[in-house]
Amino acid sequence: MSVEAYGLTHTGKVRENNEDHFVIATLRKAVDLGQTSLENGLLTGRVRESAAQLFVVADGVGGHTGGELASGAAVQCLLEYVAQAAGCFHDLGVDQENEFLERLEAGIQRAHERIQRELGTGGVAPSTTLTLAALVGQRVYLVHVGDSRAYYLHQGRLRQLTRDQTMGEYLLDAGAWTEETAARARTAGNLISTVGGTEMTPSIGLVDLVPGDVLLLCTDGLTKHVADAQIAEQLGKNHPAEESARALMDMALAAGGSDNVTVIVAKLGE
């Protein structure tokens, strides 16, 4: 499939600093052809090169010194590690899929350890959320920490691929809170898992997409202000990825922009 992707980030209307970071990257494994008696036309694109798309968003935890440094360090460290392991995405079978997810998870673990080692003082380090999606062929591999989110739009229906790692979601899952209780509780949004924090438990998953689907990664600066129905309506329009991303950004800012906002929109074609 073809992939058209665009990302952008904004400080918002309230915060002084932008503690969000994102990256869109292509992982490649290629055959560097020297000489051959074959005609070039006989060498398919699959032989010459295969590629995977990598999308990452990170949101430094607000109110903690160094949140911007933590999110930047997490994205940089993860990108460095994944670049070293880029070849393993080629021709993924079941065993290779497990290895690929393990490598992505290991990259987040390395980022977690680097933040604690290099940015921590007195046993306390800044922390960040991190949501990663690697698109290989038609399959998306996800690794997620915190409350940034990944969604996909399929046949007009928006589905959330990640689960917020917050106190509210944890207590809802445990049956200790009702949705009404979670909506009222001030501590419902407290993160229970962050990269660099005292607790870090990545969740992993995968989903298959088809041409016409749209993938969205975003920080909570978007979802605080823009409802899922509004996101679905905007992503469902036949607009370029950049136009959709800017429209979502504008909606978040117009609704208050109380936090940093980051979005990545990836539209899949034939």
Q: In which domain, by residue range, is 19 found? A: 2-31+45-160+193-269
Distance CA 135, CA 140 (A): 4
In a domain, 203, yes or no: yes
22 within a domain of the structure (yes/no): yes
CATH of residue 204's domain is 3.60.40.10
CB within 8 Å of 11: residues ≥ 6 apart: 17, 18, 260
Residue 172 resides in a domain: no
Report pLDDT for 46.
46
**Residue 84 within any structural domain of the chain:** yes
Contacts of 206 (CB under 8 A, 6+ apart): 97, 101, 139, 140, 141, 142
User: In 10 A of CB 24, how many CB atoms?
Assistant: 15
Residue 211 tokens read as: 């041409």
Using alpha carbons, select from 137, 136, 138 the residue that is nearest to residue 210.
138
CA distance 115 to 137: 32
Q: How far is CA 226 from CA 128, 165, 230, in A?
A: 22, 20, 6
**Quick one: which H or E segment has residue 265?**
strand 261-269
Per-residue pLDDT of the chain (270 residues; tens, 9 = 90+): 789 999 999 999 999 899 999 999 988 765 566 666 666 555 554 444 567 899 999 999 865 557 888 999 999 988 888 777 655 555 556 567 888 888 889 999 999 999 999 888 777 889 999 999 999 888 999 999 999 999 999 999 999 999 999 999 989 888 898 888 888 888 888 999 999 999 999 999 999 999 999 999 999 999 999 999 999 999 999 999 999 999 999 999 999 999 999 999 999 997
- Residue 181 belongs to a domain: no
- E strand or H helix at 10, and its extent? strand 2-10
Residue 15 lies in a domain: yes
Instruction: Give the integer Cα–Cα distance in Å for 148 and 191.
Output: 11
> How many structural domains comprise the chain?
1
CA distance 238 to 224: 25
Q: How many Å apart are CA 201 and CA 192, to the nearest integer?
A: 9
- Region of 12 (left: φ > 0; alpha: ψ -120 to 50; beta: rest) is left
135 assigned to some structural domain:
yes
In a domain, 180, yes or no: no
The CA-to-CA distance between both ends of the chain, in Å, stands at 5
Residue 12 tokens read as: 């918002």
